[in-house]
Amino acid sequence: MTEGDIREEILDILESIAPDEDLTQIDDGVNFRDQLELDSMDFLDIVMELRKRHRIQIPEDDYVQLASMKSTVTFLEPLMKDIERV
Amino acid sequence: MYDTIIIGAGMSGLAAGIRLAYFEQRVCILERHTTIGGLNSFYRMRGRDYDVGLHALTNITPRGTKRGPLARLLKQLRLTRDELQIAPQLGSEVVFPGVRLRFSNDFELLRAEIAREFPQQIDNFERVVSEIVEYDDLDESHQAVSARQKLGEIISEPLLIEMFFCPLMFYGSAREHDMDWGQFSIMFRSIFMEGLGRPYAGVRLILKHLVRKFRGLGGELKLRSGVERLAVEGGRVCGVVLDSGEELRADRVLSSAGWLETMRMCDDGQPVSHRGAGQLSFCETIATLDVQPEKIGHRSTITFFNDSKKFSWKKPDEPCDVHSGVICSPNNFDYGGQRLEEGTMRITALANFDYWNDLSEYDYEMEKLRWYDRITDSGVRFVPDYRHRVIDTDMFTPATVVRFTGHEGGAIYGTPEKQFDGRTHLDNLFVCGTDQGFVGIVGSIVSGISMANRHCLKG
Ligand SMILES: Cc1cc2nc3c(=O)[nH]c(=O)nc-3n(C[C@H](O)[C@H](O)[C@H](O)COP(=O)(O)OP(=O)(O)OC[C@H]3O[C@@H](n4cnc5c(N)ncnc54)[C@H](O)[C@@H]3O)c2cc1C
């Protein structure tokens, strides 16, 4: 997956977790928490969805890497670059 | 071999099960009863559908609200608001001698009522509200401050304090006489600031969605499968032994059976940590009417009443305490044009478990009839008299609660000492539901979700 694919995938996950949020206006550099109503349970869901969909294990200490779209994509790129896009 | 075994198919167990099955765990829910729902189940009798508990769902925020327990629950279980078909209350009230405070899902009504009935207290009331808003329910340092003490420092009219306690204790206090400030804040928000609602089809609709979702995700549910004991080896649970003698193995166990009940199941000979069993149980009368309650002048959704200035929240010495109660009419929700076929009036009153438990079968039936009348006679002092319109009745007692849930002493809200982190003396045994901390339907669902997340999904 390219960084663009990963970004799309994260948007898809956010859509399933928070169907009522408007995701078209997301600013990649700003923390999710500051632009979406996400709580700690939602962050766990991002991690769990990644595990479910792509078998990626993210240790709890790394959850902080998922703060914004930009940091998430940067963090996931080495883990997901070899995954085929479906 | 399962990843997780869940004990109990009540609201908390089912919700936990959905979370784990959704994330592909091999999960099995074991339920002793012949049906799901636990404390909030349903049954059919003489051709009529009954709900065991459900008066109303709490925490009913307007559609589209992104915060609060209801929004969290829907998101976490991937349910939509439409699936639950929640109809808002028409309006409820707290009635004490000479004073009536009405409230609805619009908090402004309660504000206006307090300004009218207690004009001197309105500023103090606002101070209480702002403290309640600040209270963070996900914060672990649950404030074990006495709500009585805290309210007493701000509100100088004791009657108003009693009028807050009456509905909040009836809907969620495991503790006699007082509440923790944290629990008071949670209950105040969920009832007064968020609101009450009910699905047209009652609790069966909620349960149907939960169980369908769970099974659809590959979860296993075994009814008539009571857990007799937990097999413990070297500080860990390795599996469960059913009443039938069958053994099942799992990496971890999440129990909604209650704290004491779960501790007693452990076969490691560990002394059961001393923790007071809950004392508070209910009797409930259910009357079916040949008329819609509205037609006899009753429009209140829920009427909390108390017949003196002081509200007593303790196990009564009498079989039932008829001085106070909760009168609920499931007809009085806004079902958008639809209405329930028959009128129903339910009254809940505090009851003494030991009394009801010790009766012979014959006396039990006789006492049910006697106390049905006493509770009803007490209730109709506060709502229009419906006794001449009754075409069918039922009643349940603390003994019924035990039959449905196995909770010791018929304790509706479990033990007063909650285990907020859900942990036990064993590394891979956790508790959820009533004794973890959140009560009520929405509360126990949130409890199941958060304990599943925290102890069964992470890592
Ligand atoms: C009369 C009444 C009215 C109520 N009204 C409302 C209301 O209007 N609104 C509201 O929000 N809440 C209401 N409640 C409270 C609400 O029903 C409970 O708080 C909630 O259902 C608790 O869910 P739970 O999952 O924690 O526990 P339970 O429902 O008690 O579930 C525990 C389950 O575990 C099973 N079990 C126990 N031991 C074992 C074992 N050893 N092996 C296998 N299974 C076992 C039990 O059979 C049970 O099904 C009411 C309760 C009552 C009694």
B290-327 pLDDT, tens digit per residue, is: 999 999 999 999 999 999 999 999 999 999 999 999 99
B158-173, pLDDT tens digit by residue?
999 999 999 999 999 9
Q: Assess whether B268 and B370 both reside in one domain.
A: no
Final residue in a domain of this structure, among B362, B377, B405: B405
Give me chain A's average pLDDT, please.
Answer: 92
Q: Assess whether B317 and B304 both reside in one domain.
A: yes
Q: Which residue of B has its CA nearest to A14?
A: B75
Q: Residue B83: inside a domain, yes or no?
A: no
CA Rg, chain B, in Å? 21
Q: How far apart are the first and last CA of chain A?
A: 9
The pTM is what?
Answer: 0.95
B142 has a pLDDT exceeding 70: no
Q: Picking from A38-47, B264-273, B419-428, which range would have the lowest pLDDT averaged per residue?
A: B264-273
Residues 55-74 of B with CB under 8 A from A: 64, 66-67, 72
What is the band of B139 on the pLDDT scale with cuts at 50, 70, 90? Answer: low
Whether A41 and B450 lie within 8 Å, measured CB to CB: yes
Eight-class DSSP state of B202:
T
Q: Assess whether B401 and B315 both reside in one domain.
A: yes
Which atom of ligand 1 is the closest one to the Cα of B442? 11
* A and B: number of Cβ contacts within 8 A: 31
Q: Assess whether B188 and B218 both reside in one domain.
A: no
- CA B297 to chain CA centroid, Å, is 28
Q: What's the total number of domains in chain A? A: 1
Q: Residue A86: inside a domain, yes or no?
A: no
Tell me, using a 6 A CB cutoff, whether residue B56 lines ligand 1.
yes
**Nearest of B407, B403, B184 to residue B279 by alpha carbon:** B407
Give nearest CA residue, ligand 1 atom 3: B53
CB B26 within 8 A of CB B5: no
Distance B444 CA to ligand 1 centre (A): 8
Which residue(s) pair with B347 in the sheet? B285, B327
B253 Cβ neighbours under 8 A, 6+ residues apart? B4, B5, B6, B7, B230, B237, B240, B428, B429, B430
Q: Assess whether B231 and B257 both reside in one domain.
A: yes
B153 has a pLDDT exceeding 80: yes
Whether A44 and B23 lie within 8 Å, measured CB to CB: no
Which pLDDT does position B138 carry in this prediction? 63
Q: What's the total number of domains in chain B? A: 3
B273 has a pLDDT exceeding 80: no
Q: Assess whether B50 and B120 both reside in one domain.
A: no
Tell me, using a 6 A CB cutoff, whether residue B414 lines ligand 1.
no
B218-261, pLDDT tens digit by residue?
999 999 999 999 999 999 999 999 999 999 999 999 999 999 99
Which pLDDT does position B277 carry in this prediction? 83
Q: Calculate how close chain A gets to B78, using CA atoms only, in Å.
A: 7
The arithmetic mean of pLDDT across residues B118-135, rounded, is: 96
**Nearest of B75, B51, B50, B48 to residue B61 by alpha carbon:** B75
Which pLDDT does position B331 carry in this prediction? 97
CB B36 within 8 A of CB B9: yes
Interface test with A, best of B20, B22, B75 (most A CBs within 10 A): B75
Q: Residue B84: inside a domain, yes or no?
A: no
Q: Determine what percent of chain B is predicted with pLDDT higher than 90.
A: 86
ipTM: 0.89
The arithmetic mean of pLDDT across residues B117-138, rounded, is: 92
Q: Residue B94: inside a domain, yes or no?
A: no
**Nearest of B166, B57, B169, B174 to residue B408 by alpha carbon:** B174
The range of the structural domain enclosing residue B165 comes to: 105-194
Q: Residue B69: inside a domain, yes or no?
A: no
Q: Assess whether B188 and B212 both reside in one domain.
A: no
Q: Residue B80: inside a domain, yes or no?
A: no
Q: Residue A25: inside a domain, yes or no?
A: yes
Residues 43-72 of A with CB under 8 A from B: 44-45, 48, 51-52, 60
CB B68 within 8 A of CB A39: no
**Nearest of B322, B230, B221 to residue B267 by alpha carbon:** B230
Give me chain B's average pLDDT, please.
Answer: 94
Tell me, using a 6 A CB cutoff, whether residue B346 lines ligand 1.
no
The range of the structural domain enclosing residue A62 comes to: 3-80
| DSSP characters over B51-106 | ESS-S-BS--PPTT--SSHHHHHHHHHT--HHHHTEEEBS-EEEEETTEEEEE-SS
B274 has a pLDDT exceeding 70: no
CATH classification at residue B26: 3.50.50.60
Q: Determine what percent of chain B is predicted with pLDDT higher than 70.
A: 98
CA-CA distance, B204 to B42, in Å (whole number)? 6
Which of B29, B34, B39 to mutate to test ligand 1, by most ligand atoms within 8 A of the CB atom? B39
Looking at the complex, does the CB of residue B136 fall below 8 Å from at least one CB of chain A?
A: no
CB B325 within 8 A of CB B378: yes
Q: Picking from A22-36, B154-168, B262-276, B291-305, which range would have the lowest pLDDT averaged per residue?
A: B262-276
CATH classification at residue A68: 1.10.1200.10
CA-CA distance, B140 to B348, in Å (whole number)? 32
Q: Assess whether B297 and B390 both reside in one domain.
A: yes
Q: Assess whether B50 and B110 both reside in one domain.
A: no
Q: Residue B139: inside a domain, yes or no?
A: yes
Which pLDDT does position B183 carry in this prediction? 92
Q: Calculate how close chain A gets to B82, using CA atoms only, in Å.
A: 13
Q: Assess whether B295 and B376 both reside in one domain.
A: yes
DSSP E strands in B124-235: the ranges are 197-199, 220-222, 227-233
Q: Assess whether B272 and B284 both reside in one domain.
A: no
Q: Assess whether B290 and B272 both reside in one domain.
A: no
